Amino acid sequence: MITGIVAIAKNYAIGKNEKLPWHYSADLKYFKETTVGNAVAMGFHTWKSIEKPLPKRLNIVLSRSANIENKANVLLLRSKAEVLNLASYLNCDLFIIGGAETYKNFADAIEKWIVTEIPLAVQDASTFMPKDFLDDFEAIETIELADNLRVKIYTRT
C-alpha cells in the first residue's frame, strides 16, 4: 500500500526553512512506530533536512539531478515511475514522507493518508499542503496522541 504521512498545522503548514516548524515527541514516536519495517520515499530537500537514513526502513530519495553518498538502506531513484515500479516488488508498505512537491507528485498514487493535526498555525511557514489534498478521501479512524495531537487516517473514496 502507498500511504502519505504528514503532520500539518491549522494553516496547512508543513515546513519552515526546510525543517519541521515544531517538535512533538508524540508525533515523532508515532511516525517511527508506523514506518519502521517499511519503505519511506522522500524528496531531496526532505532527505537533506533529515541528514541521515531513518533506521530500520528502506529510505528512497527521489531526485532528478542530485547525487547522494552511498549508504546502507538508502536508494536514490530518479522518477515517480521508478518508485512505483519498485513498490510493486516490496514486501512492505511504501510511505511518502515529503516534502510538498513529493506529496503533489504522488497524489494520484496515494491510497491512504495518515495526517497528524498540529494544534497551531505556523507564522512565516514556507511549505504548505494544498487545502484540497484530502478531497478524494474519507476519514476512517482518529487516534489521540499526547501533546493534544490528533492523528486522522483517511482512505481513498
Q: What is the pLDDT of residues 36-89, one digit of tens each?
A: 999 999 999 999 898 899 999 999 999 988 778 778 889 999 999 999 999 999
What is the pLDDT at residue 73? 87
Report whether pLDDT(132) > 90. Answer: yes
The count of structural domains within the chain is: 1
Q: At 82, which CATH number?
A: 3.40.430.10
3-state helix, strand, coil in the chain (%, to 5): 20, 35, 45
What is the pLDDT at residue 7? 97
What is the pLDDT at residue 69? 78
Model pTM score: 0.94
Cell triple for 102: 513529493
What is the pLDDT at residue 71? 81
Taking alpha carbons only, the member of 29, 20, 22, 34 closest to residue 96 is 34
What is the pLDDT at residue 72? 81
| Residue 137, CA distances (Å) to 12, 42, 71, 108, 141 in order | 17, 22, 36, 11, 12
What is the pLDDT at residue 40? 98
Mean pLDDT calculated for residue range 82-101: 96
Tell me what percent of the residues of the chain surpass a pLDDT of 90. 87
For 23, the domain range is 2-156
Average pLDDT, the chain: 95
d(CA 93, CA 72): 19
